[in-house]
Structure 1
Amino acid sequence: MKKKIQNKKRRWLKIVLKLVILGVILVFGFVGSIYFGLWGKVPSRTDLVDLKQAEASLILDHNEELLGKYFVFDRSIVSFNDLPEYLVNGLVATEDARFFEHDGIDYKSFLRVFFKSVLLQDDSSGGGSTITQQLAKNLFGRKQYWILSMPINKIKEMIVATRIEDVYDKKDIITLYLNTVPFSENTFGIESAAQRFFNTTTSELTLSESSTLVGTLKANHSYNPRLFPERSQFRRDVVLQQMQKYGYIDEAARLKVSNQPIEIDYHKFTYNEGLAPYFRENVRKQMTHILDSINDATGSTYDLYKDGLKITTTLDNTMQEYAEQGMSKHMERLQNQFEKGYGSNAPWIKDEVMITELTKKLPEYKRLQKTKLSDSQIMDSLRKKSKKPLFTYQGDTIVSVSTIDSLKHYLKFLNAGFVALEPKTGAIRAYVGGVNFEYFKYDHVSMGKRQVGSTFKPFVYTAALESGMDPCTYISVKEVTYTNEDDWTPSNASGDEVDPYMNYSLEKALSQSVNTIAVKVLDQVGIPNVVNQARKMGVTSDLPDVPSLALGTAELSLMELTAAYTSYVNESVPSKPYFIEKIEDKSGKILYEYKASKPMQPAFSDNTRQTMIEFMKATVDEGTAKRIRSTYGISNNMAGKTGTTQDNRDGWFMGITPDLVMGSWVGNDDHRIGFSNTSIGQGANSALPIVANFISALNKNSDFNSITHAKFETPSAIVLEALDCNPDKRDGFFKRLFGKKKKEKAFGE
């Protein structure tokens, strides 16, 4: 009996032994199949020597402060020397305490996880993956192999981890890991995470900030410090406890940080959000052309979204913040004025013909049209309500609206553009293409062309001075009917001739923006001469060959108009606006550097330039732009010109200081919708405040004293003598008695 039992045991032992051997063979065979690539290639040591990861290209302002990024994955690379010691220690203490002891695989942790997690189903055992294994996963990702996904991916990562340890030292591995690991909100790499959540660089991270970011690695959504601050703080404190446990910090240091709440300074760099999105979109477009030319010339393959390029632009981040804040502050107030001005008679409410026309241009209407629905069925479908986010100045709001409701909502919004140019170089220092890039993509600085109104008048007066007209030439404010122009009778903005017997000097005529005189000056100078003058100042858009050109019926972009005005403070030469200073690759090699093209010839004489500045200084001091002094208290040396177009559709203001030329435009995207009245729609009320808010902010910052304290040059003795006259004079008694009240003539006679 005893012998039978022994034989039975031997048979079972043989079976078990065979099963063990078979199991070992299967395990080794399975591992071998992975090792030799039967489940997909495993990166070799050669593959690991030159790891190339997609890296975000950085957009910098002219002071090399971060402005934004272009990326597939939001990743920026840093070196080991940039990593604070407590960041590295916190990572090791929390993720892989024996990191400096193992060669890529921590067998103690591996066995613990295997027995507790796999055999005992104990979830508290931890992950078991070393930092090096996690790096392998970050670099090469994981693939799906159905039920075998976990073991195959784990074994692959273990193989790759040992190879990484052969190729790189521990510092390199830590650096590679922190440059590739995903943090909260799809942010890749420690530098991008530091910038996004704390608005700082990696090297400047504090102990608390470092611990917070390390803590998010366990579950980057659940421990997102922006979304879940209390949960994130709890996890940060766990990291600090681990650091104390392994001797990296003492209890006093842990308690000091643990007693502090997490303070984030959130900055998101996305296509729609962040600083200067319209400007960044222009830079992106230019980068595409520049890189294409570099790649074609050198045989390179530079990629804006993957190659970690550094793009230094002309923008000034602080100026840009002031510009965006100044526009937003004003436009919210103006929008309220605009809507109240119309009340219940607003065209986006009452004009059914226009609304129907716009509805039929919607992509959704065209899509439904292809399904052979009738017009009434399509309109019924577009009236169905659903929850949608809508833009408001108080913040986006989710409301139940139909497609047509949404169209009406956006139809009522005014839009705006603002640009500030350095006149001597053409460098763009601030650029706001619209009120909100996410909802209004159209760029009103570079893309949009609108009638410029009275901001065209300086071209007329410049041409007049160049033709030899004396600044003290007096011209009557009387209305004139031009018989060969369909009996056209241009009138002044007020609609009244305040005193039909008054005559204004050119300075007063421009500063008060008198329409009747502007047309008469154009008549005397000739349309061809005025067009030629505008061309010399850099205007390339079509200019209509009609007398109303004097009143600004030409359509120009804000950028084109502002660039032309730079000639008044750039030795009579218009500057050429530009966006990009230089482009460097990730190693610092300069790929492109802006070189100014040969400057244009002076557009007019220096005497004319000085005279025109005096004319436009009078516009600001006592003319149509005087509220920049009276209402906004701007005392800077400044010249400028307001503009308002027919039916109050567009408001303009051009502001000139010795070292900065600014242009602003305001109007509705639909040309048919103007302001309800001139008091709201005139450029002095609609566009001027954007420039005023911007300058006010600059004045409060001493860093911009060189700009805000700059003085215009004193005009020459010749110019001062030419301007030495009364601004106006009244017709004498006999001229008033026998002169005609209204003269009729042919334009150009």
Structure 2
Amino acid sequence: EIMAMYLNKYDFLNNADGIHSAAQIYFSTTPDSLTLSQSATLVGMLQNSALYNPIRRPEMVKNRRNVVLGQMKKYGFIDQTTYDSTIVQDLDLKVQRVGHTRGQATYLREYLRRYLKRWCAEHNKQDGTPYNLYKDGLRIYTTINSHMQAYAEQAVAKHLGQELQPAFEKHWKGHQNAPFVFKSLHPEREVKKLIDTAIKRSERYRKMKALKIEKDSILKTFREPTPMTIFSWKGDIDTVMTPKDSIRYYKSILQAGLMSLDPKSGYVKAYVGGIDYNYFKYDHVTQGRRQVGSTFKPFVYTLAMQEGNMSPCSKMANVQPIIHLPDGSVWKPRNSNKKFEGENVTLKWALANSINWISAQLIDKYNPSAVVRMAKQMGITAPIPAVHAISLGTPDISLYEMVGAMGTFANKGVHLKPIFITHITDKYGNVLESFLPEANEAMSEETAYLMLSLMKGVVESGTGVRLRLKYNLNYPIAGKTGTTQNQSDGWFMGLTPDLVTGVWVGCEDRSAHFRTTKLGQGANTALPVWALYMQKVY
């Protein structure tokens, strides 16, 4: 046990802290797959890793490795034949340097870096100077579960890389303006305008502009073939293409975000801000705000449960409402399907099948401002206009806030603002600050229970039923799918008693998306990521 503790904490240099990290960085493998030569190399480094650095002094490290092998032969752990065949082997390094763009939880690490820089500026050491994040040996203890983080990243990669992105490319193959949809008479002009805007926002353009290079000369470089490495789900590709073409290529890549929360503690257990931080720096958990679609409807139904004394079994007429708005206009929302139109349906069925007419009737009955207040009580800080259309999911909200809000239902009506850090200590282990989530009683426990019952219908017989039929997830699950206008955004919010997880999928630009609801709906884009993740977690 002492040896295991030592190996798990030893600094093997090159950001290789512990035997797991060292095996990955130096040999691109795991400790249980290390060869005899590789194991002896790492053990040899324990005497002085600064001296026995295999990257800088490979021959010295090879000699040190052979000393370890000699000791193993001396004490009977290996025989002469094994010793003779191993000492002549090269180190066979397969170095994978770990930087801030590689490794696990890259988006979260960047989020925490920015937060901790602010924290350091606001907290002083005993000498009165602010803490230095990089030099003062601070220890940051996060809420993340490393296994769940790995499962989350694997789920995103598996669904998007193996299924959704290939389907997206097949769907758009042969279309001139792929993957953009514009309803104008000249969509090619809209595409050109979008790409031109992206060029001017690119880092290449900003750097050249800062060097006072003429605009025409800058734009010319974007049309010149250039050697570059581009992202692909099958691995990085070294190629030659114009920077302008590379921008359009990246516009065709589906992005994703996932956040998983323990609703009872407020601890974030997994955080996937995007598909590859090395190429896509934008964080779709905390930075991005996208239209949430029908995942907003639980806020409307919550108000009906809380203020209207309604229940999942309460019935309403599934008829199109004609709502006269304050500005004198008339709003007539449309349903996405014609099931049971003109009949009385239960609220549970209406939410399970995402019936717009029922949501519109409810918000008209209880007032848009009251719905906005309910959303705010559940942790939503994004601006939400007090208009009827929000009942169909028009607001732009971050995945972080949506997952936190859904956690309210699983925590008996108490909203806990999700946190990422439990405590911070100095290099001596003294606790500098501990963190607890902000708590707010957003609704009664009874209302939270009723909402969970409502949302279970989504999985039992509604838009999320494939969790049962395809993925064989048979434990208690409440959920809500969401699909925005033109299928630009796909969402799934899933709740179990111990875990609330949200997934968003979409392209960088809202004009890039699937052309059909069947392919672009949240049940097809986001829900499978949730399912693959939960299959590993449970």
TM-score (norm 1): 0.62
**Deviation per CA, 1:116-173, whole angstroms, max 9, x where unpaired?**
xxxxxxxxxxxxxxxxxxxxxxxxxxxxxxxxxxxxxxxxxxxxxxxxxxxxxxxxxx
Q: Report the counterpart of residue 174 of structure 2 in structure 1.
A: 344
* CA distance in 2 between partners of 1:652 and 1:291 (Å): 36
Question: In the alignment, what sits opposite 1:533?
Answer: 374
**Conserved 8 A contact 2:259-2:400:** yes
Deviation, 1:308, is: 2.8
For 2:476, which of 637, 645, 651 is the aligned residue?
637
Shift of residue 552, structure 1, vs aligned partner: 0.8
Picking from 81, 93, 103, the partner of 1:274 is 103
Q: Who is 2:384 aligned against? A: 543
Counterpart in the other structure of 1:617 = 456
User: 2:489 is matched by which residue type in structure 1?
Assistant: D
Change (3 A) 1:354 1:348: farther
**1:541 positional shift:** 1.4
Aligned partners of 1:192 and 1:607: how far apart in 2?
A: 47
Q: Note if 1:415 corresponds to 2:245.
A: no
Aligned residue runs from structure 1 range 451-530, under 5 A = 451-471=291-311, 472-484=313-325, 486-494=329-337, 497-530=338-371
CA 1:595 to 1:487, structure 2 compared with 1: closer, same or farther past 3 Å?
A: closer
Matches within 5 A, 1:222-301: 235=63, 238-240=66-68, 255-256=81-82, 259=85, 268-295=97-124, 299=128, 301=130
Give yes or no for contact 1:214–1:239 (8 Å, CA) kept in 2: no
Residue in 1 aligned with 2:145?
316
Q: Whole-Å Cα distance in 2 between the matches of residues 364 and 276 of structure 1?
A: 27
Using the alignment, how far apart are the partners of 2:535 and 2:395 within structure 1? Answer: 31
Q: Deviations over 1:549-583 (max 9, x none)?
A: 10011111101011011111112011111111122
Which residue is 1:694 aligned to? Answer: 533
Structure 1 residues 560 and 187 mapped into 2: Cα distance closer, same or farther (>3 Å)? closer
Q: Look up the match of 2:490.
A: 651
What code does the residue aligned with 1:344 have?
G
Within-5 A mapping of 1:163-242: 193=22, 196-197=25-26, 207=40, 209-211=42-44, 220-221=54-55, 235=63, 238-240=66-68
Q: CA deviation at 1:610?
A: 1.2
Residues 41 and 62 of structure 2 are in contact (CA less than 8 Å); yes or no, is this contact kept in structure 1?
A: no
- After TM superposition, give the deviation of residue 585 of structure 1 in Å: 2.4
Alignment partners' CA distance in 2, 1:241 and 1:431: 42
- Name the SS for the 1:574 alignment partner: strand
Q: Which amino acid aligns with 1:571?
A: K
1:304 aligns with 2:144: no
Task: Specify whether residues 249 and 302 from structure 1 end up closer, same or farther in structure 2 by C-alpha distance, changes over 3 A only.
Answer: farther
Q: 1:326 aligns with which of 134, 137, 155?
A: 155
CA shift at 1:195, angstroms?
7.3
- 2:184 is aligned to none
User: Aligned partners of 1:298 and 1:251: how far apart in 2?
Assistant: 53
Partners of 1:215 and 1:239 within 8 A in 2: no
CA contact (8 A) 1:240 1:254 kept: no
Following the alignment from structure 1 to structure 2, what is the Cα–Cα distance between the partners of residues 698 and 500? 40
Q: Kindly tell me: are residues 252 and 535 of structure 1, through their superposed partners in 2, closer, same or farther at Cα, counting changes over 3 Å?
A: closer
- State how far apart, in whole Å, the 1-side matches of 2:533 and 2:517 are: 24
Q: Any gaps of 5 or more consecutive residues in structure 1?
A: 1-77, 85-177, 225-230, 700-749
Task: Select the structure that is richer in helix.
Answer: 1
The 5 Å alignment of 1:75-94 reads 82=6
Cα–Cα, structure 1 residues 210 and 462, in superposed 2: closer, same or farther, change >3 Å?
Answer: same
The 3 A distance-change label for structure 1 pair 590 and 240 is same
Give, in angstroms, the shift of residue 249 of structure 1: 5.8
Residue 89 of structure 1 aligns with which residue? none
Higher relative contact order (CA 8 A, sep 6+): 2
Give the match's secondary structure for 1:588.
coil
Superposition pairs of residues 531-680 of structure 1, within 5 angstroms: 531-597=372-438, 599-600=439-440, 602-680=441-519
Q: 1:297, 1:625 → 2: CA distance?
A: 55
Cα distance in 2, alignment partners of residues 285 and 278 from structure 1 = 11
- Percentage identity across aligned positions? 35
Q: Which of 243, 263, 267 in structure 2 is aligned with 1:427?
A: 267
Change (3 A) 1:536 1:188: closer
- 1:362–1:630 Cα change, 3 Å: same
Cα gap change, 1:581 to 1:367, in 2 (>3 Å)? closer
1:348–1:355: 8 Å Cα contact kept in structure 2?
Answer: no
In the TM superposition, residue 296 of structure 1 has moved relative to its aligned partner by 6.4
Measured on the aligned residues, the alpha-carbon RMSD in Å equals 3.5
Q: Which moved more, 1:549-558 or 1:583-592?
A: 583-592
CA shift in 2, pair 1:662/1:186, >3 Å: closer
Structure-2 change in CA distance of 1:504 and 1:266 (3 Å): farther
Paired AA for residue 477 in structure 1: N
C-alpha distance in 2 between matches for 1:609 and 1:241: 63
Structure 2 unmatched ranges of 5 or more: 33-37, 181-187
Q: What is the deviation of 1:307?
A: 2.8
The answer for the alignment partner of 1:10 in structure 2 is: none
Contact 2:251 2:512 in 1 (8 A): no
Tell me if the contact between 1:208 and 1:257 (Cα under 8 Å) persists in the aligned partners: no
Q: Which amino acid aligns with 2:352?
A: S
Does the CA contact (< 8 Å) of 2:7 and 2:18 recur in 1?
no
Counterparts of 2:302 and 2:39, CA distance in 1: 59
Partners of 2:263 and 2:499 within 8 A in 1: yes
Shift in alpha-carbon separation, 1:692–1:267, aligned structure 2, 3 A? farther
